[in-house]
Amino acid sequence: MADWARSNVGAHVVETETRDPRRTPDNDFIYVDVSSVDNARFVIESPQMLKGACAPSRARKVIRAGDVICATVRPTLRRVALVTRRYDNQICSTGFCVLRTDGSVDPAFLYYSLLTDDVTRYMESIQRGASYPAIRDSDVKKLRLMVPEHNEQCRIAALLSAVQRAIEQQERLIALTTELKKALMQKLFTEGTRGEAQKETDIGLVPESWDIVPLSELLAKPLQNGAFIKRPVEGEGLLFANVVHMYQGLYLGTSRLTRLRVSSDNVSQYMLSKGDVLVVRSSLKRDGIGQSTVVGEMPEQAFFDCHIIRIRPNPSALLPEYLASYWRSPMGKQDLVGRSKTTTMTTLNQRSISGALVPIPSIAEQREIVEYLIKTEAAEQKRKAYSTTLALLFRTLLHQLMTAQLRVDQVDMSELKALGIEVN
């Protein structure tokens, strides 16, 4: 880092302009509010298209392609973005500091500089206000940067940009895979796998040979709510499945379960067994209700939370994976949500879930449907794991490159290429 110069952000930027869209009330403009910047992907996302007459009072700062915008309200949330051509000559909120370089610093390098942990700590140290923390534009411009020569700035930015593009591509593929899975679920639970004619039922179209059966007729044991633990102590003790663990995969991820210090005698009736189906019965969000997962092989004893209902299907009539998959499908989830009630929380009681209608094919066809969906979910989870790997790589490279712990020439480009990352 000896060959890097230290200077303030303000030494590398020029003054920017403001404009009041209300002076041209009939003209459309794109308004980038603070909430329009995604602080996980660090891009402008879902800005508003407004008429000048409808411009809010904070819509004043003009942005140009290549500008870097940095939110000065709640600055530690890192709402930072590089303005693309799509938003050239549009308007952003006065809640942003707009940085337009004078050419001495590459805009993308400046953008990545503002994403580092050191900058976040600086923002935290100078922000003012407890309920609405904020900083001033002048605070951003006083930020000290380590600046290499221009060619290295561009190479660093190009490398980090390539990793970001790979992450964005994976996110698009994950979204596509998720939509394809929903479509596959809809097809499997309405058409089956045997090419049968369909019939109309109380839950919609299903294959002619399928039965529509209330859950209450498909149980090996009565439904059961989980354990209520007053003032739980985490960190050691028995494995404990709570609501947060219901939103991962088809099978309960036992490696992520928390531990609670309780006596096994006090929770013996709530111990989980392979083949149990767990369903969220109370949620702060309505769309969180009815989320289902299956208990697989358990490495040790575990029990479950009071906000979850345990279902033990009769395996001769209903496979646990089939039931959970059906309730994870759009039509199954819609049925459970429709049976819930909302006051301060959305809840689903045992009586409501017992009356839920389940489309029942043969066990053999249930197994075929489950196999299709498990393969699809495995592909989805593989993409998510790859995306997580790329995100970790981005954070590591961001820190190491922006602090000169790693120079671009030291990066193994063949390893990046093996990960599907092409550096221009």
pTM (predicted TM-score): 0.80
Task: Specify the pLDDT at position 389.
Answer: 93
Q: What is the mean pLDDT of residues 298-318?
A: 93
Q: How many CA atoms lie within 13 A of 78 on its CB side?
A: 17
- pLDDT tens for each residue of 78-111: 999 999 999 999 999 999 999 999 999 999 999 9
pLDDT band at 1 (very low <50, low <70, confident <90, very high): low
Question: What span, in angstroms and rounded, lies between the C-alpha atoms of 82 and 64?
Answer: 10
**3-state per-residue secondary structure call for the chain:** CCCCEEEEHHHHEECCCECCHHHCCCCEEEEECHHHEECCCCEECCCEEEEHHHCCCCEEEEECCCCEEEECECHHHCCEEECCHHHCCEEEECCEEEEEECCCCCHHHHHHHCCCHHHHHHHHHHCECCCCCECCHHHHHCCEEEECCHHHHHHHHHHHHHHHHHHHHHHHHHHHHHHHHHHHHHHHHHHCCCCCCEEEECCEEEECCCEEEEHHHHEEEEEEECECCCCCCEEEEEEEECHHHHHCCCECCHHHCEEECCCCCCCHHHECCCCCEEEECEECCHHHCCCEEECCCCCCCEEEECCEEEEEECCCCCCHHHHHHHHHCHHHHHHHHHCCEECCCEECCHHHHHCCEEEECCHHHHHHHHHHHHHHHHHHHHHHHHHHHHHHHHHHHHHHHHCCCCCHHHCCHHHHHHCCCCCC
What's residue 233's pLDDT? Answer: 82
The alpha carbon dihedral of 57, 62, 63, 68 has a sign of negative
Q: What is the pLDDT of residue 101?
A: 97
Model confidence at 324, in pLDDT bands (50, 70, 90)?
very high
Sheet (strand 346-347) strand order: 282-283, 346-347, 341-342
pLDDT tens profile 174-194: 999 989 999 999 999 999 999
Q: What is the pLDDT of residue 262?
A: 84
The confidence band for 163, taking pLDDT boundaries of 50, 70 and 90, is: very high
CB 347 within 8 A of CB 340: yes
Give me the pLDDT at residue 236, please: 84
- What pLDDT was estimated at residue 284? 87
Cα 262 from Cα 239, distance rounded (Å):
10
When pLDDT is cut at 50, 70 and 90, the band that residue 265 belongs to is confident
pLDDT at residue 249 in the model: 86
How many CB atoms lie under 10 A from the CB of residue 42?
Answer: 19
Q: CB count, 10 Å around CB of 175?
A: 11
pLDDT band at 28 (very low <50, low <70, confident <90, very high): very high
Query: Can you give the pLDDT at residue 287?
Result: 86
At residue 353, the pLDDT reads 95
pLDDT given at position 247? 87
pLDDT in tens, 331-362: 999 999 999 998 888 999 999 999 999 999 99
Mean pLDDT of 64-74: 97
Alpha-carbon distance 21 to 52, whole Å?
A: 5
Per the prediction, the chain carries an average pLDDT of 93
Asked if 59 and 28 touch (Cβ cutoff 8 Å), the reply is no
Give pLDDT tens digits for 217-232: 999 999 999 999 888 7
229-238, 243-252, 370-379: segment of lowest average pLDDT: 229-238
Q: What is the predicted pLDDT for the residue at 121?
A: 94
- Domains of the chain listed by start with CATH number: 5-147 (3.90.220.20), 158-196+363-424 (1.10.287), 211-360 (3.90.220.20)
- Please report, rounded to a whole number, the percentage of residues in the chain having pLDDT higher than 90: 80
Q: Position of tokens 């880092």? A: 1
